[in-house]
Structure 1
Amino acid sequence: MRKIEFQTLTLKNFKSHRNLTVEFGDTTQITGDNAQGKSTIPESIPWLLYNTDALGSKLDPTPVTYEADETKVSLLFSVDGKPVFLERVLKKGKAHYYINEVPSKAKDFTEIVEQLFDKELFFSLFNPNYFFTLHYEKQRAIILQYVTAPANKEVLKVLPESQAAELGELLKKHSLSDIEEIHKENKKKKDKAYIAAQSRSRTLKEQLEQLPSVNVPIESIKVELAQIDKQVREKENLMDNAIDKNQAFNNTQAKINALQDQIEISKEHWPLLKNEVIEDSCKTCKRPLDEESVEAVKVDKEKRMAEYQGKHNELLKQRAELKTQLEKLELIDVSEIREEIREIDESGHSLREALRTHSQFELLQEQVNAAVVDEKETLDSLNTSIFILDSIKAFRAKEAELQAEKVQALFTTLSIRLFKKNKGDGEYKPDFEIEMDGKGYSKLSLSEGIRAGLELREVLSKQSEVISPVFIDNAESITKFKEPTGQLIISRVVADQELKIERVDA
């Protein structure tokens, strides 16, 4: 526990005080009529330390009714029994600083003050009204720095079992804020996805209802179709064999026709060769040939005739052989088989249509089933996210309650509100309000405000483990209050009395 005690305050040309020394005791009473400079005395201490008034605002310390070359405030005080002497002097608008009577730089002066006091805490402990001038967020932060937030397990313990179980598992992997973001995003996606899934399953169900009722012996149809397909394959095999045989017949006939054309051509050449005249003179020079040459020409003609007859007879022989082969082949008419195949295949048309309709029905039924499953899974995911988001709301509500309970336990007569519930979404948002007897601070009377401020500064003193002097202004408005911890400086208005400072020790 750090204890700060004021010992001696010296003011020179500070506002209305030309030369004033205050010796502080356990209680220091400052009394006098209005405009006697009562409030100026404790106001000089914040100016010394921070160059502000007691509410943290700028302050002009120079005299207003007379002129002076310098303004000076000196304070001898102790921190845990260790004496410290600080002095601020203002000369011609320029500040000079002294630490334990040693001239110092502004930076060094500021550093030692920061080491001795936390500024916000000092003002809140020294001036009970100061805290209430701060923004509610700052007030909230000051109070909460002394109260640990409830642990997750503390909050889960007071949640309904189902919510606690769900959040408990999720909190092992993610923070509450991350869980909230994940499921806000999932809810947003699943809201749209669920509408689409409902539309798809409804459309598929309507399509299924429009199909004719399918109630046929599918297995029997498959067996019957298998028989039909077997008959068709058998007939197709017969037709394939017939086509192969017809191909052989047609090939042979084509060969015969080709040979016949060659024979006809050969016949046309025979008369020319047979009737060829043997000349007895040279066709070129017209000279008569001798008998030997004439005989050679005759022999050549006979040779060519013999070759011709050999080739012609070979063609006739080949034609005869092919005709013999052709007589053994049969030209089959496949049109009858083709017609049989068509008739057999058509007999299975109604069966195939029934099977196709059944398959279409089954496929659509599978799509409907899948759509229904998808719709359910989407709804389950959506409901899970909604449940988790609701659980997070409940978690934060309980967390707010527990934290408020911890803070409230610090006070005796004051009520503290840390959270505010939004009307729109029911969310708990950070807030801060101090009430006494159901009234907010702004609506309290002067005496009620002083009591509220004193109780608050006692909580801050205890939690921060800092005991410091406290200044109560306008103390005439309050007849009874609990003695605060630390030195007490009281300012009271006493009509028609000059400034009077009394030191009272316990």
Structure 2
Amino acid sequence: MYQAYKMKLVLTQVTGFKLYETEHSFSFGMGNHITGDRGQGKTALSEAIIWCLKGCDLTGNVKGVKKRLANPNTKEMKVITTWEFHTPEGLLVKHSFCRISTSRSMRLFLDDEKVSQDDFDEWFGETDTLLSIFLPGYIGGIGAARTNNVVLSMLPAQDVAQVMNSLPAETQARLNIDGLRDPLQYLQSLKSELSEWNDYIHDTEKEIAQLLLKNALRGSSAVIEDDERKMTDLRQQIENLEQEAGPAFPEHINVWELESKELRKRYDAEVASWVTLNNTPINGEERECINRKFELDQIANRCNAILNEGFALRKDIDANRALYEEEKAEFIARTEQELQQLQFDLQMLEAKIELKQKNGQSIKDTPLHQKHLTDAKIQRDNLLLEVDSIQEFMFRYAEMQVIASNRALTHTEILFIPRRGKEGDYTFHYRLRYEEKEYYLLSSADKNRVSFELADLVAMTLGMMIPVFIDNGESIEEVIGERTQFFVTSYLPQAELSHEIIVA
């Protein structure tokens, strides 16, 4: 990607899009005036540009967009936007972004090379951010959560060291500079650790409260010895069960398999003799022909008898093998069930014995548990201070972002509204104002001016110069002189669509 302030849409080619059935080309400068009667394609041109870059309509919606935007008389919807960039070395280059949609596929190309939507997004950012500048008024209709995300994406990054220096000394001392490279992830890590300490403290307090009771429930040495004998018996039962072989494979099946192979050999030999006899020439005498036929029939009868015997034998083999597999499966299932029960009983008994052994030391262990509890509370309190510090850093960072943004803006202002929940967590909210008026109260002309100012801010923070498309603008003169590329449409009754470059 290249320098944002030297980025300009210079050409758009539209085919099969809404009323643009055949290819229409539009060349653009920094300032562009598009005129025509209603239904001539002024708004459709802005939709074509957005669809090419994002695959959505002017509301940011991608669902059902093909059906709504495609020309009904064409099989393919295609839009190409060509953009002019200046490289850091001062060279002028052009890149073409193409989106082609058919009934079966959607394809994207960057300079004739097939790419993905992520590749397009690297050049033009998030959809809501792009539309909030390209279409004045869009940001007023997307809801508070998405507005927050759009404004947040525009805010400039701040130097971590400068933010740190603006905090009180005691706060700085508690912060880890490496963790501040990703403060949100760092905060989540601290909260996860804090939750673990709280769980540990709760468990320790509960354990201390029950230590004396556990000691009383320990039982006599005779009871413990009886449990140990039961444990030894359970282990022996598990060992015996694990060594149990299960049902043996029936030997008669192996014998039958050998018999089956012998039947096969006999059958193959009879078939070979039948083929040999059948191919042996005869002198043509009637008696010899009758004898030959009789011999062949005899061989065929023997073959059939062997086959019948083989089929019957195979049926017995399969039935006996299935019966064996069923017995084997039942044995495995029963053994596994018994093992699971024995192992469960053993684990419960081991836990019971271990608990009784621990309970024997309960009185002696009480001071140690109390010390662990005290240490844990100290760790927890230190973490709470660190969590408060990182939240204070994030608050100051966001505040400085807004201050820096508002310095770059002229009449537009970003309002920073921090809120703190019951547990002390901050949530940051943002709103836009223009000349001290809330965005939803602004006129269309004022919303246009907000878009131009936000375009300059995004050029500074994101490295993108997003053009502004003013639909049915009242005046062209009021936007001439802006640094941002702009498009203004005007309604002219009974006039065909036309466009002119008013600022090169």
TM-score where L is the length of structure 1: 0.50
TM-score where L is the length of structure 2: 0.50
Q: Please identify the structure whose Cα radius of gyration is greater.
A: 1
